[in-house]
A and B are shown apart, each in its own frame.
Chain A
Amino acid sequence: KQEVTQIPAALSVPEGENLVLNCSFTDSAIYNLQWFRQDPGKGLTSLLLIQSSQREQTSGRLNASLDKSSGRSTLYIAASQPGDSATYLCAVSYGQNFVFGPGTRLSVLP
Chain B
Amino acid sequence: NAGVTQTPKFQVLKTGQSMTLQCAQDMNHEYMSWYRQDPGMGLRLIHYSVGAGITDQGEVPNGYNVSRSTTEDFPLRLLSAAPSQTSVYFCASRRGKGTEAFFGQGTRLTVV
Q: Which residues of A contact B48 (CB under 8 A)?
A: 96-97
A98 within 8 A of B: yes
Q: A11-19, A39-47, A58-66: which lies at the B interface?
A: A39-47
Q: Which residues of A contact B43 (CB under 8 A)?
A: 89, 91, 98, 100
Q: Which residue of A lies closest to B56 (CB)?
A: A96
A28 within 8 A of B: no
Q: Which residue of A lies closest to B96 (CB)?
A: A96
> Which residue of A51, A52, A98 contacts B101 across the interface (Cβ within 8 Å)?
A98
For chain A, which range describes its interface: under 10, 10 to 19, 20 to 34, or 35 or more residues? 20 to 34
User: Other than the known A89-B42, A93-B98, A97-B45, what 19 A-B pairs have Cβ atoms closer than 8 Å?
Assistant: A34-B101, A36-B103, A44-B92, A45-B103, A46-B102, A49-B99, A49-B100, A52-B98, A91-B101, A93-B101, A95-B97, A96-B48, A96-B50, A97-B48, A97-B58, A98-B43, A98-B45, A100-B35, A102-B42
Query: Can you list 22 A-B contacts with CB-CB less than 8 angstroms, sorted by A residue number?
Result: A31-B97, A32-B98, A34-B101, A43-B90, A43-B105, A43-B106, A45-B103, A46-B101, A46-B102, A46-B103, A49-B99, A52-B98, A89-B42, A91-B101, A93-B97, A96-B31, A96-B48, A96-B56, A96-B97, A98-B33, A100-B44, A103-B42
